[in-house]
Structure 1
Amino acid sequence: MKTTDVDLSPPAPAGLRASMRRAVPSGLVAGGFAAAAAAAASADEKGAPFAPINAVTHSLWPRRALHERGFSMRHTLMGFAIHQAAAVFWAVLFETLVERIAGARPQRLPAAAAGAAAATALTAYVVDYKVVPARLTPGFEAHLSDRSLGAVYVALGCGLLAAALLRRR
């Protein structure tokens, strides 16, 4: 694809609204994929599948959240809600990129969605671990190896891609 094929102008308000509507289901699917990857990795590495999701609440309860390993109404449910909200936030970027790359050409959707998913997952990782202060990181890093942390972001991207391809049908 040539760079001249990509529309770099700001999205029209109607297009942005449509991207935001699509972002909710895309983000929920992607967040579910990422949470499952985090839980599976933590269960394998530390025997504590709820620990990474609990750790998401460290911005609210810094003294307790990173040490909470089991299911907790306070940490697990709130952590999952925060995680899903963040995934929907990232899905807005994803959906906007897909719309700009694919435009009105449905034949471009698979490639556009794959590229947008990879770009979104990479951006999310960089922002989460290189830009925001430690207090605002997801907290997964407290319970996951670097390799598993990478797998969580790959799962986020795969969830975004899956949602876009399923919507196509």
Structure 2
Amino acid sequence: MANFRRFRPDDLNKLSKCNLDPLTETYELGFYLQYHAKWPSLFQVAEDQHGNIIGYTRVLADVYQFSEHYLPWHAHITAVTVAPEARRLGIGKLLSQQLEAAADANDAWFVDLFVRSTNHKAITFYKSMGYSVFRVRPDPSSEDAFDMRKPTKRDVKREHIRDDGEKYEVDPTECLVSLA
């Protein structure tokens, strides 16, 4: 059984079980604290009965205005991570549903994330939850990334998603990327 709650700064010492996964991007401590300071309600953890962090989700809610590909108000998932021993229990799904509900409550247009094009498990997971590929961020020196999106209630006309996103490549400099 898992307990879901907001991240606290003292949780930083408990994230290692989740961050040991080779597909999880790990950052310096200040990065996590910045998310906590700016979007405390969108940084959630799941802990087991012993108080160990077995999953977390880190989200930013923002409007990007740094390119001609301006994106409207939305929630961007920078991480959904579950410790190996706690996988297949629905924790990742519950964490994702919590942040989608928060995005809806804050009147976001969609929830998005970037995932490595070779991370088939994550792609399958997100597609099962209603996400679709919106565009591809090519990277000749590393791995391509898919920008996956799920519309929120506000996007009634489904203007911020597309069915054939694998066909749309975007210049890598036009994307803020945090790979899942």
TM over 0.5: no
TM-score w.r.t. the length of structure 1 is: 0.28
Larger Rg: 1
User: Which has more strand, going by share of residues?
Assistant: 2
User: Which has more helix, going by share of residues?
Assistant: 1
TM-score w.r.t. the length of structure 2 is: 0.27
Higher relative contact order (CA 8 A, sep 6+): 1
